[in-house]
Amino acid sequence: MKKPEDNGLFVYLSPFRHDFWLCFVLAIPAMSLVMASVLYLESAIMGDVSIRWFPSIFADSLWFTFGSVFQQGSTWLPREQGSRFLVAGWWFLTVIVSATYTGNLIAALAVPRTVMPVQTLEDLARQTTYKYGPVDGTAIYSLIKESSYHVYERLWRNSIQYPENTVKNHRDGLERVMTDNFIYMGELSGVAPVVFDDCRYAIGSERFFPSGYAFTFPKDDPYLPLFNERIASLVENGLIQRWREIYYPKNKCVSHQRTRTQDPANAEQFQGALAMLCAGVVAATLTLLGEVYLRTVRRLRRLQRNWTV
């Protein structure tokens, strides 16, 4: 693929994936709504005569929830046990998220690098910016077309099945990479002389189709066993590897292709913190139900005493 240009405009969003940002932003008003509901119900259960209008409670909860994301204190704190459990769970989540964001952001700013939008086949199948495809009729084309692996099926369905997304040869694929939003899928040995010398190209990190070299012999050729023996001897003695180091194209762009060393954090990595938040919600709910029960029992006992008297 064509090497993307450095863009530092959105570097402050790079520590997390887009789906996590969306979930976390939506979690703030959702958490505020839950907290406001718990506070309102606790005030009603306790018979607080100074109970406020629900939108006012929600506004205070929203500001408190938002401020805790930035590790800011507040003059307003919940007084009842149920809402305190809820706040403790939210604080635990925000501490983990804040620490992770700070660490990833420092790494991103300390080591500026070109962020490659596609590194693996999973990345390629998930994105919608680039079209992609191999040379029509090659082994890679047949592999993706006939495979039942879910990633290959998505690659075929999203792009490769369309004739306009395949190319005629390596040169055609590399030219299209430079002139269009296109990612060429081909054997590294076929494109190495070009992409190792022209640093405008970038190579993905996943090698999904290892290819080799072979010599063709007629069937039952008497020289085939001798040839196999000699080739095996060359491999064992290290001569093949030595010749590869001497004659195979050298990658002149290694220092220029600085790719991401740390993937952005996603929601799956915060399962423990989310579990603590859920535990806080459960504890708050159970405490609220306990308060309702105790309040009801006390009221019934009070009524029973008055009836007896």
Predicted pLDDT at 268: 65
- Structural domains of the chain, with CATH: 11-113+265-308 (no CATH), 121-212 (3.40.190.10)
Residue closest to 186 by CA, chosen among 164, 169, 162: 169
Rg (CA), the chain: 31
CA atoms within 13 A on the CB side of 198: 14
C-alpha span between 242 and 248 (Å, rounded): 10
Is residue 254 within 8 A of residue 62, CB to CB? The reply is no
Predicted pLDDT at 272: 67
Model confidence at 158, in pLDDT bands (50, 70, 90)?
Answer: very high
pTM for this one? 0.49
Q: What is the pLDDT of residues 85-133, one digit of tens each?
A: 788 888 888 888 888 888 888 877 776 556 677 888 998 999 888 999 9
C-alpha span between 124 and 121 (Å, rounded): 5
Q: With pLDDT > 70 as the criterion, what percentage of the chain qualifies? A: 80
Q: What is the pLDDT of residues 238-283, one digit of tens each?
A: 888 898 888 888 888 765 444 444 556 566 666 666 677 777 777 7
Opening angle at CA 186, ends 181 and 191, nearest 5: 90
